[in-house]
Structure 1
Amino acid sequence: MKLSEVESAEAWFVKHGKKAIFFGRMLPIFRSLISIPAGIERMNLVTFTLLTAAGSAIWNAAFIAAGYLLGENWHIVETYADILKYVVIAGVLAGLAVWIVFRIRTTRQKQSADESEFQSVA
């Protein structure tokens, strides 16, 4: 990763970190990982705890309500939760693939420009 990308990610988290923590607690995979940028950016512990509690409460309340309403058919919730998990994983992998392709293209273009500049100087 480039330093500029890290700085951009930090700026994004400073601007959107509270929303990221709140909604991140409702998304598989991100639920566990969202604490890392919060720690890196030294988010206020009370704010982090409140956002975590609120986001987790909503997520858990939805599952509790679904389980209560479905009774013995609660396994239906598990099916949809698994689908959501796979949708999130697919989205993350697609985003990662796009980022990798972009980085490769950018690197190749820069190398090509550097080679052209070198040849014109020589």
Structure 2
Amino acid sequence: MNTTRTVRLGLPILLLAATAGLVAAPAAEARSLPTYTCGYTLDQPQFDSVRGRECTASAGAPLIGHHWITFQMRNSGSGETWVCNSVEAALVPYYLDNKIDPDYADFERAYGRGADASVCHRLLD
């Protein structure tokens, strides 16, 4: 009987301690989104897209190619910020090897250090 009484008294304490340990476990550190900070941006609301030029990329942001990632694009002058779900990053180095007939947009991205984004939503201050 003493053993049963000890288990009955001790079990709730053990359960509380275990639950407290799980609740008090350190939370994963929030990661910041990759960001393109651009000298100027063109919001194209009819296409839910944003084009940025004269951009610099934060650490971890793709520098070339088409990527399906969530990232931010920020206008360094106005402070406008968008959260986007895909990007065609065209920061230096940008090459046109895959294109038979590069068009104006290709050259604009290549020489303007651009990032074209689709499925963007503007963050309101």
TM-score by length of 2: 0.25
Q: Point out which structure has higher relative CO (alpha carbons under 8 A, 6+ apart).
A: 2
- In terms of Rg, which structure is larger? 2
**Relative to total residues, which structure has the larger strand share, 1 or 2?**
2
**Relative to total residues, which structure has the larger helix share, 1 or 2?**
1
